[in-house]
Structure 1
């Protein structure tokens, strides 16, 4: 799974594709059909690639990519983000066993489900991640 170019931006819904950089910050493009481009100033906005995001675990942090892989391996079926908190938690126990239930909220689970549903159709989801540089 090669999701290196996909980012989450604090305060903005959805996911973005990192397409470039200029003096003012990073140039991002929405993943929806509108393909709106915007510039994000890193001095005032926080941004994280999906590959860098982790989820609180009881013993160690769980990589978001591992959760996405588990969802994909289970057929890619996710509950509706409007489902009850218990239904969401039950689903998350299957795809992220060992997550810290006290620190991972229903809102976090909804966000992860919505992100998965956004990216599952993209070719980046099927590509292997490039090997790290040594």
Structure 2
């Protein structure tokens, strides 16, 4: 699953694709049918990449990517985000059995299911993330040796070394007198 470049923006519903960056902020495109483009101000907008989001777990935090993969495996039983809280809770026990039930609220589950329904049909959702073993197993990834950087030509002439006059070797040695 390659969710690189897919972000959640604080204060805005839905998910966005990071298109670029300018001096005013990040250029984002919504993933819904409207394809709305916005510029999110760098100083007062928080972006969260879906690759970096974790869910509270009992022992250790769960990665959102793993939970989305589990939801995709059970997509026949995935409820709508507007379902009853008890239905959401029982579904999350199936797809993320080690999540912390006291810290993960129903609103979090609704948000995750909304995100899943937005990205489930996207090609990024089904392709392997860059740098994973799945990508290497397909043979798509070729290992190429790193090219050495070429020296930039300069217009300045290299300083020439002037030879200093050689010191004359003394034939007399001064040993103890």
TM range (shorter): over 0.9
Following superposition, the deviation at residue 104 of structure 1 comes to 0.4
Instruction: Show the counterpart of 2:30.
Output: 30
The structure that is strand-richer by fraction is 1
Q: Which has the higher contact order (CA 8 A, sep 6+)?
A: 1
Distance of 2:27 and 2:72 partners within structure 1:
29
Instruction: Show the counterpart of 1:83.
Output: 83
| Paired residue total | 132
Q: Give TM-score scaled by structure 2 length.
A: 0.72
Following superposition, the deviation at residue 76 of structure 1 comes to 5.1
Following superposition, the deviation at residue 116 of structure 1 comes to 0.1
Deviations along 1:49-93, one digit per CA (max 9) or x if unpaired, are 100000000110000000011011123541122222111000001
Instruction: Show the counterpart of 1:92.
Output: 92
What is the CA RMSD across the aligned residues, in angstroms?
Answer: 1.2
Instruction: Show the counterpart of 1:40.
Output: 40
Which stretches in structure 1 are left out of the alignment for 5+ residues? none
Which stretches in structure 2 are left out of the alignment for 5+ residues? 133-177
Q: Which runs of 4+ in 1 moved over 4 A?
A: none
